[in-house]
Amino acid sequence: MVDYELLKMIVEAPGVSGYEFLGVRDVVVEAFKPYVDEIKVDKLGNVIAHKKGNGPKVMLAAHMDQIGLMVTHIEKNGFLRVAPVGGVDPRTLIAQRFKVWIGPNEFIYGVGGSVPPHIQKPEQRNKAPTWEQVFIDIGAESREEAEEMGVKVGTIITWDGRLERLGKHRLVSIAFDDRIAVYTLVKAAQELGETDADIYFVATVQEEVGLRGARVSAFGIDPDYGFAIDVTIAADVPGTPEHKQVTQLGKGTAIKIMDRSVICHPTIVRWMEELAKKHEIPYQWDILLGGGTDAGAIHLNKAGVPTGAISVPARYIHSNAEVVDERDVDAGVKLMVKVLEEIPEFKL
């Protein structure tokens, strides 16, 4: 079972790419404090939690940024024009509630809008809205009123999402991509047993806009081994044939073999499989033909870093209602703990 209160704090804190300081960064720092020897925030904003050891230097990365919106223009009548920060589909804005962040942990509400279908031409109704056709309504009647409410060009916006239970084992929330993996990092640090590994738990920034935090933090740490934790697609839904589902909820943590950004080191992949079997941890495979993770930046650091990765299967990613199975989350925590405990004896 997941630590619901810890997870809730992590997933519901604001932190769009480049603006992680709005809330999530402080939450992550406090969550790591009891379990590591030192914590620092680097110049780009990555949280680096170091548990010192005399063995191999290991970097575990999970990104704490989330996708969102940025205000690009305030209309004369108070509506907000926006642009995506990360991979946002404009279809996911319509008739949704939003939080417009006018300061750290300070927001006003907004609603995603577009031209009503009742007055659209027939040919328009069958097309997905474009960014030119969507806007955010904050209830202001003028540009001046919107500015008085604290909104300006560059203001950051997130969905108004929250963590909830869904059935017996499932959870639904905003920002499981990738806060569920940040939670996994914290729990791995909490449950870690004896190990000589020199461990760097890194909650990275700006993954959603190009793996930027992982790139600079890997350069600074210069690890012997790297591991990334992220979500992956679980397309185990009606209409998707089994061979295209990528992963399935409830079948265990997903050991990554390949995605668009990385081919994980084959020896590490097989070793992780052996650990999962040895400790009876349920697992499945992750081959994702679209999308990438922080592993893509880590493995290219300097002269190269042998890198592996695990993924949390998730439905409906990049929305305000992403769904995971807590059994998969727990399996991921257990596998990463075993990786850290046994990596001093691992040989490529």
Residue 231, SS3?
Answer: strand
**Residue numbers annotated as active site:** 207
Q: Is 63 annotated as a binding residue?
A: yes
- Which DSSP state fits 337? H
Q: Which of 203, 208, 197, 202 is nearest to 221 (CA)?
A: 202
Could you tell me how many helices (H) and strands (E) the chain has, helices first? 9, 17
State whether the Cα torsion 69-70-76-77 is positive or negative. Answer: positive
One-letter amino acid at 236 equals D
Residues 6+ apart with CB under 8 A from 84: 67, 68, 69, 70, 90, 131
Spatial separation of the C-alpha atoms in residues 176 and 187, rounded to whole Å = 15
Spatial separation of the C-alpha atoms in residues 324 and 313, rounded to whole Å = 6
Q: Is 89 annotated as a binding residue?
A: no
Q: Is 177 annotated as a binding residue?
A: yes
As annotated, the binding site for Zn(2+) includes 63, 177, 208, 230, 318
As annotated, the binding site includes 63, 177, 208, 230, 318
